[in-house]
Structure 1
């Protein structure tokens, strides 16, 4: 998330009025599906659609739980690329036959609409509802990478889920912006406030060498969790981490503290 470098060129008046669109262009950086071909290690996921409260049909991807497996994780990708890249990154979470639903956002991967904080939260609500329809009676977990951690934490604060995990997630969006731009940010994403409202177990994963979101952000989130979060430090890791390294550990954490919904 290389956010808001253009802020220094905005005058104070523009920052309060005309720069919101330009700032959002820096916050949200979707890439067309045609520009991001991926190869899956196993079977490709099925296409799936979630419809938001404001009527947008969003395209995502779905691997159903294996027979006898009663778990499903909703994966929220970061501020860049699209749901196809998100699916490739989320595929290792299928380990052990778990179901995986890859969410997508308005304005990403050919989806209608324009991204904003309110919009992405509405999208997350739609995907959580879709997860419950696709896998009724299953235990629902939430995983968010970077910006996606904001959706995962806020949905866990609003709804009963079995557990949450984040990777490389910031404490507040404002912390990622130059000081001159913070007062003019059109979107806030306060993950510290969200995690204080989460009652489920939270796994915070963060690379010690993350140059995009400082490791201190994970430490702040851990402190704010009131003892419900476990922070896992990945020595030498950056902002992107192959989930093949972590999937078994994530599921072990969740299942050790799993609660029925």
Structure 2
């Protein structure tokens, strides 16, 4: 009996040690998992809509800007965690064709921008980009905040800080810990998460009109998260896309939901 007890203790201690090691590894590597930043992008020339925005500490991020016609809103878009500024040009061109301005900002550590992405660092880059837009005469009332996937958390935080008049969220999540808990239910993700992007806790403070677009077959961020957020924002409309997943929700041949975003940004029904 004593021998069996010792064996059980040894087994439990071994599993406990392995579990602790796994938690330490996840804690150490979580930002590389959360921010799979595209690499190898050459520095962008400051022309054709691209500009370089200095940040504190000698860092900088790239901007892509298409000015709005006089009096028209500007869509400020925050991209997903596997995207970069260069991949947003098509969305910008569509918004411009619909009579809107467009601005998208790179994240630290993404594309040609130096540094490492963190929640606070991305917020700082977003606020710097919005200040840059204000200096060009675009007011908060003329600004429509937009985000996709990871960028939805950035858009909501900027809205909470008073930077826009409308908000568009494509494939949004309630919080990063919620996503982690869904993907890794056997880990104490809520204790380990360093970057939280807690949209659910901020939603009630965002009194602006909100459009949520979510693919019904999204296996990365469940559509139920988008639906839940629709009940938390005071003025939200939720539109789910049948047959669409996480990466193709805006990529239908007719760009139906990109045009839906443009109509919402223009204040059309």
How far off is 1:204 after superposition?
A: 0.6
Partner of 1:253: 264
Supply the RMSD in Å over aligned alpha carbons.
2.5
TM-score (norm 2): 0.80
**What CA distance in whole angstroms lies between the structure 1 residues aligned with 2:53 and 2:236?**
30
Q: Aligned residue for 2:159?
A: 156
Report the Cα distance in structure 1 between the residues aligned to 2:28 and 2:59, rounded to whole angstroms: 20
Which residue of the partner structure matches residue 36 of structure 2?
Answer: 29
Superposed CA offset, 1:142-162 (max 9, x none): 110000000001100111411
- The structure showing larger relative contact order (alpha-carbon pairs under 8 Å, at least 6 residues apart) is 1
Instruction: Specify the alignment match of 1:76 in structure 2.
Output: 78
Q: Which residue of 2 aligns with 1:174?
A: 177
2:60 to 54, 57, 62: 57
Q: Which has the larger radius of gyration?
A: 2
Other-structure match for 2:216: 208
The CA distance in 2 between the partners of 1:199 and 1:154, in whole Å, is 13
Q: How does 1:39-118 map to 2 (within 5 A)?
A: 45-66=48-69, 68-118=70-120
- Give the length in aligned residue pairs: 239
Bigger helix share: 2
Give 3-state SS (helix, strand or coil) of 2:130's partner: helix
What is the TM-score normalised by the length of structure 1? 0.82
| Cα distance between partner residues in 2 of 1:141 and 1:62 | 14
Q: Determine which of 228, 232, 237 is the counterpart of 2:244.
A: 237
Q: CA deviation at 1:120?
A: 1.1
Q: Call closer, same or farther: CA 1:181–1:52 in 2, change over 3 Å.
A: farther
Pick closer, same or farther for the CA change 1:200–1:33 going to 2, 3 Å. farther
CA contact (8 A) 2:75 2:265 kept: no
Gaps of 5+ in 1: 1-8, 36-43
Unaligned runs of 5+ in 2: 1-16
| Distance apart, 1:10 and its partner CA | 7.1
| C-alpha distance in structure 1 between counterparts of 2:29 and 2:267, whole Å | 44
Shift of 1:58: 0.7
